[in-house]
Amino acid sequence: MYDTIIIGAGPADITATVYAARKKMKTLVITENIGGQAALSGDIENYTGYQFITGPELAKKFEEHLKKFDIDVKEGTEAVSVEKIDDYFTVKTGEGTYESEIVILATGRKPRMLNIPGERKFKNRGVTYCATCDGPLFAGRAVAVIGGGNSALDATIQLMAIATKVYLITRNKEMKGDTVMIEKVKRSNKVEILRDAVTKEISGDKFVKAIRVVVNKTEEKILDVKGVFIEIGSVPVAIPVKNSEEKLKVTKYNEIIVNEHCETNISGLFAAGDVTNIPENQIITAAGHGCIALLSAFKYISKRPS
């Protein structure tokens, strides 16, 4: 029986694990990989303590910090389900079942993909899902932003100050989002909006060189770009949670609802990071909420009868 099982190993999970180790809690970490979405980022210049670090480098730092402690880690393992039985939890994986007094879910999010030819091939080689993280890499280059809502508008506004040309490609006949943002984008002489447009293929050699787009269902265009920012949203990485007393509360987007202590509506189940309804999906906010989740979990355990 573990004190806590932490599912995931991104910024929220690593931070929670470090605090768990310092509290001398018997801890198990279950994760498919270490680093989470941070490992998929390019250059990172907004994580406190590092003026510049790449995503893979930061993920390596996370791993080094994690392995300084005597913590059980099941890496390369997928958590299949979480179930509360009486006053403890069981976590099932493909390898076995584990028990703990509490569980912290910090499984993060994954970008919603276009699922078109070239997307996977050029991921992190011109294809990216985060303008905040990777925008500066494309300074002085032509780029494309794919999406039709506020995420795409925000990415476009960021890239307007960096790129030489921004193609904003949307399936819609008109942009959907905040009016102020739409007008700001329309005023820029750097932005060309392609409406009723579907991206069909991303091509290149070692890196992205072009995309193929069909406009108005008939007109095909080949756009010479060095970067493709896919901004069609992201989805939480959900794990089924079973509880006989009450169902885990989530938003309409399947984000786990937590309070300021990172508590879910199920006693003993905590959640942190991008899988929750906490706003601003950034590395630093996920790390902070990983800390809150573990400290809240420690208080929860401390108050339980021995």
Enumerate the β-bridge partners of residue 79.
93
Report how far residue 135's alpha carbon sits from residue 114's, in angstroms, rounded to the nearest whole number.
Answer: 19
Report how far residue 99's alpha carbon sits from residue 252's, in angstroms, rounded to the nearest whole number.
Answer: 30
Report how far residue 222's alpha carbon sits from residue 210's, in angstroms, rounded to the nearest whole number.
Answer: 7
Q: What one-letter code names the amino acid at 32?
A: E
> Cβ distance 32 to 78 under 8 Å?
yes
- In order, the DSSP letters of 231-244 are -S-EEE----EEES
Selecting among 13, 86, 130, 196, the annotated active-site residue is: 130
Selecting among 13, 133, 262, 274, the annotated active-site residue is: 133
> Cβ distance 92 to 81 under 8 Å?
yes
Q: Which two tokens stand for residue 276?
A: 């929750």
Selecting among 13, 134, 154, 274, the annotated active-site residue is: 134
Q: Running DSSP on this structure, what letter comes out for residue 251?
A: -
> Cβ distance 31 to 94 under 8 Å?
no
Q: Is 130 a catalytic residue?
A: yes
> Cβ distance 87 to 168 under 8 Å?
no
Q: Is 3 a catalytic residue?
A: no
Q: Is 262 a catalytic residue?
A: no
Catalytic residues: 130, 133-134
